[in-house]
Structure 1
Amino acid sequence: MLSIQNVNFINNSLIQKKNLEEKQPKLSFKGGLTLTSPQLESKIREALSEAGSGNNPVLKNVKTDFVGRVVKKVIELKQGVTAGITARSGAGKTTLIEDAAKATLGIDREIKIIPNNPFITIVKGDNWYKDVSRQVKQAGSFEAFLKTGYNFDIPEAIDSKGIVETMIKLAKGESVMGPEYIFGTCENIPERIPLNPAKLNVADSIISLHQKVNPPQNPIMDFGMYVDVSKDELLRRFMRRATSVRGNTPEEAKILFENAEREAAKHLNPGIGDLVINGELPRELIANKLSKIFKAITGKRD
């Protein structure tokens, strides 16, 4: 049986804890949860723990300062969180992040277009490929153009400055009209796609964590995600995407893959990601675990 002294001690401790929580800065999401800094940190750590446990953990690695950086951005700076997701070409990062976004919002993954929402916006880096439509026409065909040595998987082939400017504006709460890239003709049409700021803004690009976009001395991204996939699986996925989605011939796809792998070896590896994701697990499992992390960060209710 507890003594009166012990009861008083417990009551005083609870009062002190309540007073401490009331003094903590609070994060208020419109339509979401209202969280203190410790609560936000706790929710993120809980989601990370779940994603990194079990027989087939979705997360292979999490950098130690990841949680602190995200909490600081949300609570202290009161800005949208910026993240980059990257991988070797063909790893399936685009499908993965779209699935995770849909799971976060509670919509069917078969829905092609993610509706405008305050929680998550995906900036598709493919739309920042530089326009080479004139060169393709001059070469006579896309395959002939590739044989000139042009490489789509080098940072110079992408408008890194445009991605940086877009992410900065979204984090500040500004809307952006982004470009649209047409794969068939390699044409880039400016100011075509509306992008609205969200609690979590994710740049999906092979260069989203490259120093041209995310310099170590002044990082644009609050955190980075790397999708880790074996080379054999990469090749299988790459060939399927190139031939069935982007309309490339098998010969074109082979050239593209060889170019992509040669460049990827220079700057793409799991070490650049704060979260390293096992990209060979089932899509639904990955989406489910990542969505819990995203919900924790954004305050999205289940």
Structure 2
Amino acid sequence: METVIELADDLADDLSLQSASSESTTMPTKQPFVIGVAGGTASGKTTVCNMIISRLRDQRVVLVNQYVYAMLQDSFYHSLTDEKLQNLHDYNFDHPDAFDTELLLSDMEKLKHGQAVSIPDYDFKSHKRKEQSRLINPSDVFILEGILVLHDPLVRDLMSMKIFVDTDSDVRLSRRIQRDTVERGRDIEDVLHQYARFVKPSFEEFILPSKKYADIIIPRGGDNDVAIDLIVQHILTKLGQHDLCKIYSNVDVIVSTFQIRGMHTLIRDVTTTTHDFVFYADRLIRLVVEHGLGHLPFTEKQIITPTGSVYTGVVFCRRLCGISIIRSGESMENALRACCKGIKIGKILIHREGNSGRQLIYQKLPADISSRHVLLLDPILASGNSAVKAISLILSKGVPESNIIFLNLIAAPQGIHAICKRFPKIKIVTSEIDSSIDEHACVIPGMGEFGDRYFGTDNDSSTALKSQRSSGFPCLGTPK
């Protein structure tokens, strides 16, 4: 089957350097989910955006046209002076300097903080902004479209998802010729001259290099129905996660690419072998651990490189320890040791009593845990009952709430609510938020009994499920 979506580089491997600031217990302002759609001229960006919007039926989506095409309805183009108008054929509309990026950033920051904005209405006949502007109200989702939306790092930082529409250059040129000659009444020789002088060089210098920043690359643009469907389903999943992240500022879902989603597909598949399950689970766990380490406090440090140059870097907090909730949490210990050589790791065993009761069976914690930052390890957060019990124990040892980072692969909304309402200063880092938990307190859709699948004790999954529930030991999906 032909690949419908190409993946960008491993963006999720990048560690974000974030200081551990104190968390507010008040609800943060809801922020929009911003989708950036870039690509060359006439690549089909607008078609892709319209298809996404039409399939997000129940979502309130506003399309912000930064640059729809390089020379059509580009709201943030600079108005041309009389001098530039006299030499219009020498003006490059595909260069980053042609756009008022500062104004775009200002407007997007206002929208991000729930403020309405009036964006310019650009007239392509006069090449000036009209007196009237267009009012854009705050929304849950914005699609920011244009040839250069992935070029500027400050604009990229505003995006929750970055898409690049990749269409063959010959197809794009033929579309541009048809559009400019039929819709704009231009001479074909002028179209080809401008393409060769400005459009193609700008594409190669500015637009094509920005492709590497995309989370998702769509070959063939709007003709790729399968890719659009996958993206829409992915957006709907992320919107559900995004709502919780807007409610709780201490919840961090790592940036998802289709590579990460592909690994989730493999470890969730009931037919996946134990060997493959462990391999891909370890890869995801490593990503979660590395992302969680990015939330540790750090200080700046200047060092001398082998070339004799001065480099200003950072040094992370070194007083760490890991605490795994037996037994699924033990599957995350190798990744933590690989990232933090020599780290101390403690263990907690909690026994399930009924639907909500929890009994502490065993604990082995570092004696000096109160002076350390704690990475709490458990692959699954379901109802949150066991996690609450474990966190309460750690706090009783004198660990400040803000010094605890809870790392897991998937979480259910119920577990997130249970922890965040009771411990608003604890950081939760996960790779995906699932829809719910079922009557057995198992995460849905989940991935089965994580401990049994990881440690190879799931030869008879139905028997194992009954066995663990009767014994009271947690499975993947039982309340943590």
Superposition TM-score tier, normalisation by shorter sequence: 0.5 to 0.7
Structure 2 length as normaliser, TM-score?
0.41
Q: Which amino acid aligns with 2:36?
A: G
Deviation at 1:151, TM superposition (A): 0.3
Residue 245 (structure 1) aligned with residue 183 (structure 2): yes
Give the corresponding residue for 1:38.
none
Give the corresponding residue for 1:61.
7
| Aligned partner of residue 256 in structure 1, secondary structure | helix
Deviation at 1:78, TM superposition (A): 4.0
| Between structures 1 and 2, the one with greater strand share | 2
Identity over aligned pairs, percent: 21
Residue 189 (structure 1) aligned with residue 135 (structure 2): no
Residues 273 and 101 of structure 1, relative CA distance in 2, 3 Å threshold: same
Give the corresponding residue for 2:203.
264
Give the corresponding residue for 1:232.
170
Residues 132 and 248 of structure 1, relative CA distance in 2, 3 Å threshold: farther
Residues 247 and 161 of structure 1, relative CA distance in 2, 3 Å threshold: farther
Q: Unaligned 5+ residue runs, structure 2? A: 16-26, 67-73, 244-480
Match of 1:138 among 86, 103, 109: 86
Q: What do the CA deviations read for 1:184-233 (whole angstroms, capped 9, x no partner)? A: 22121255111122222121122211126436xxx222331111111111
Q: Which amino acid aligns with 2:201?
A: R
| Aligned partner of residue 7 in structure 2, secondary structure | strand
Distance in 1 (CA, whole Å) between partners of 2:43 and 2:173 is: 9
Give the corresponding residue for 1:153.
94
Match of 1:177 among 118, 124, 129: 118
Partners of 2:4 and 2:224 within 8 A in 1: no
Q: Which has the higher contact order (CA 8 A, sep 6+)?
A: 1
Partners of 1:170 and 1:196 within 8 A in 2: yes
Residues 298 and 255 of structure 1, relative CA distance in 2, 3 Å threshold: farther
Give the corresponding residue for 1:90.
42
Distance in 2 (CA, whole Å) between partners of 1:133 and 1:184 is: 14
Match of 1:220 among 150, 158, 168: 158
Give the corresponding residue for 1:36.
none
Q: Which amino acid aligns with 1:279?
A: R
Distance in 2 (CA, whole Å) between partners of 1:283 and 1:243 is: 26
Deviation at 1:257, TM superposition (A): 2.1
Distance in 1 (CA, whole Å) between partners of 2:154 and 2:220 is: 23
Q: Which amino acid aligns with 1:132?
A: L
| Aligned partner of residue 56 in structure 2, secondary structure | helix
Residues 287 and 193 of structure 1, relative CA distance in 2, 3 Å threshold: farther
Match of 2:105 among 133, 139, 164: 164
Distance in 1 (CA, whole Å) between partners of 2:120 and 2:192 is: 28
Q: What do the CA deviations read for 1:147-172 (whole angstroms, capped 9, x no partner)? A: xx210000000111111112222222
Partners of 2:47 and 2:222 within 8 A in 1: no
Residue 122 (structure 1) aligned with residue 63 (structure 2): yes
Give the corresponding residue for 2:231.
290
Distance in 2 (CA, whole Å) between partners of 1:209 and 1:176 is: 22
Give the corresponding residue for 2:350.
none
Partners of 1:170 and 1:201 within 8 A in 2: no
Give the corresponding residue for 1:48.
none
Distance in 2 (CA, whole Å) between partners of 1:83 and 1:222 is: 6
| Aligned partner of residue 173 in structure 2, secondary structure | helix
Give the corresponding residue for 1:30.
none
Q: Which amino acid aligns with 2:170?
A: D
Distance in 2 (CA, whole Å) between partners of 1:190 and 1:290 is: 37
Q: Which amino acid aligns with 1:239?
A: I
Deviation at 1:252, TM superposition (A): 2.9
Partners of 1:79 and 1:172 within 8 A in 2: yes
Deviation at 1:297, TM superposition (A): 3.2
Deviation at 1:135, TM superposition (A): 4.3
Distance in 2 (CA, whole Å) between partners of 1:214 and 1:185 is: 27
Partners of 2:45 and 2:222 within 8 A in 1: no
Distance in 1 (CA, whole Å) between partners of 2:190 and 2:233 is: 39
Residues 281 and 188 of structure 1, relative CA distance in 2, 3 Å threshold: closer
Match of 1:279 among 220, 225, 232: 220
Distance in 1 (CA, whole Å) between partners of 2:79 and 2:60 is: 31
Deviation at 1:83, TM superposition (A): 2.6
Question: What count of residue pairs does the alignment treat as equivalent?
Answer: 220
Higher-Rg structure is 2
Q: Unaligned 5+ residue runs, structure 1? A: 1-54, 70-74, 107-117, 140-144
Give the corresponding residue for 2:376.
none
Partners of 2:115 and 2:138 within 8 A in 1: yes
Distance in 2 (CA, whole Å) between partners of 1:58 and 1:245 is: 31
Deviation at 1:91, TM superposition (A): 0.8
Partners of 1:86 and 1:205 within 8 A in 2: yes
Deviation at 1:235, TM superposition (A): 1.0
Residues 191 and 291 of structure 1, relative CA distance in 2, 3 Å threshold: farther
Distance in 1 (CA, whole Å) between partners of 2:187 and 2:179 is: 11
| Aligned partner of residue 236 in structure 1, secondary structure | helix
Structure 1 length as normaliser, TM-score?
0.63
Q: Which amino acid aligns with 1:127?
A: S
Distance in 1 (CA, whole Å) between partners of 2:6 and 2:34 is: 21
